[in-house]
Amino acid sequence: MSDKYKYMLDEKDLPKAWYNINPDMPISPGPVLHPVTKEPVSPEFLSVLFPMRFIQEAVSTERWIEIPEPVREVYKLWRPSPLIRARRLEKALDTPAHIYYKNESVSPVGSHKPNTAVAQAFYAKDEGVTGYTTETGAGQWGSALAMACNFFDLACDVYMVRVSYQQKPYRRIVMQTFGAEVSPSPSEKTAFGRKVLTDNPDSLGSLGIAISEAVEAAVTSNGKFKYSLGSVLGPVLMHQSVIGLEALKQFEMADEYPDIVIGCVGGGSNFAGFAFPFLHKKFTEGKATRFIAVEPTACPTLTKGPYTFDYGDTAKSAPIVKMHTLGHTFVPPGIHAGGLRYHGMAPHISALCHHGAIEAVALNQLSTFKAAVLFAQAEGIIPAPETAHAIKAAIDEALKCKEEGTKKVIAFNFSGHGLLDLAAYDAYLQDELVDYAYPDELIQETTKDLPQVSEALMTE
């Protein structure tokens, strides 16, 4: 076992292929359905929204998908990212556990999101479209896609959830610096946005609403724009697998292997990117690793949402997928972890959680900020509010090791830094934040309007 703090790979160690979990899934993630016919979608329908290469990746059963060289070249701006042994945090906790984190905050925009943004931008450029429309919650995804579109000379039209647009102006400035057009959602730019504002002029917005606006803008662009999603869909999770693939090599360098793998979940991309390569080892080699997906109590999708088919957006214009969901009409409270406020969850992660391969826990806002401050004071990096959920879960597991006198290896994905989230930290430090657990009765209300899908598809 090494006594190092940091495990670094060379550019030559950058993965040449993404890991596609499709052939290893112990349970089907379910079909993708047309929002009107509720039958499996055709490639023609999806091609209005996505580049054809993206669609082909979604249905591929190849375990390894080659990373295009132009994508790898951009990756080299920050990849491979470091794996850090959090020795100072271990000391602060007085735990026998070994804690590691994969530091994705070293990317130019400070999060894991460019791993798929760059790939999707390359696909759009290759097909000759003008640019992308997209949504963003906290602004991490919008920043990543804006940067990627800039690199490939594409336009970028971002619909940012209104509460985050107000709370996180610096992320908006980052997007605009890369040339993106950013609108608070709901907006006056789309028919659906205008409808929402007519019904509720003070709407805080939601990722479901922002997705509806971005999808509408793409569909009505006469083929000039495609729509880009930063999480949930299979190809996005696959693009993120560079994180876990690098981490596997780095754990070999450390001469250790994780007993517990942790990531925060909103739509599921950073968790999948870190965890899926380790799940591959579990499925194919029998590695006895636990996997913990962490979400906020204010948006308890995996822990309280039913596992069923639902629309991907509020306007019911995006495809229907099988997932844990709080209902497409769900409008979350304005917690600061904006990237964890989606009403649904990636079908692959939902299926794996339903199957029992992944555990899910929900944590409240104050405890995650307390953990984030402890981490910052020990390790010197201020985490994004989303990342703080993974940190809190890792600390909880490390303290269990202390209580039990057991020595386990705990690994989590440090999905992004919080240097543009300091207003949230200020609110926490001034005792202005409160905890909020989304009530069961409201979940019953928001899940009343789920799509009616045939019994044959429900059991597929």
Read off the pLDDT of residues 225-281 as tens digits, 9 standing for 90 and up: 999 999 999 999 999 999 999 999 999 999 999 999 999 999 999 999 999 999 999
Give the model confidence (pLDDT) of 336-378 as tens digits.
666 788 899 999 999 999 999 999 999 999 999 999 999 999 9
Enter the tokens of residue 112.
């894991």
pLDDT digits (tens, 9 = 90+) for 100-146: 999 999 999 999 999 999 999 999 999 999 999 999 988 899 999 99
Name, in order, each residue with C-beta under 8 angstroms of 228's C-beta and a sequence gap of 6 or more.
117, 120, 121, 124, 132, 133, 134, 145
Distance spanning both ends of the chain, measured CA to CA: 45
Under 8 Å between Cβ of 213 and 187: yes
- Helix residue ranges, H only, 137-256: 140-151, 162-167, 169-177, 191-199, 207-219, 234-239, 242-254
Q: Which residue from 160, 163, 99 is spatially nearest to 133, judged by alpha carbons? A: 160
Which tokens hold the place of 77?
Answer: 């701006």
Cross-strand partners of 206 = none
To which H or E segment does residue 102 belong? strand 98-103
Average model confidence (pLDDT) across the chain:
95
Give the burial class of 153: count Cβ atoms within 10 A of its Cβ; 0-12 exposed, 13-18 middle, 19 or more buried.
Answer: exposed
- Residues 174 and 258: their CA atoms lie apart, in Å, by 35
Domain ranges of the chain: 6-15+65-110+235-458
Chain-centre distance for alpha carbon 309: 20
Decide yes or no: CATH 3.30.470.20 for domain 6-15+65-110+235-458.
no
Contacts of residue 42, Cβ cutoff 8 Å, sequence gap at least 6 = 34
CA atoms within 13 A on the CB side of 327: 17
DSSP assignment letter at 416:
B
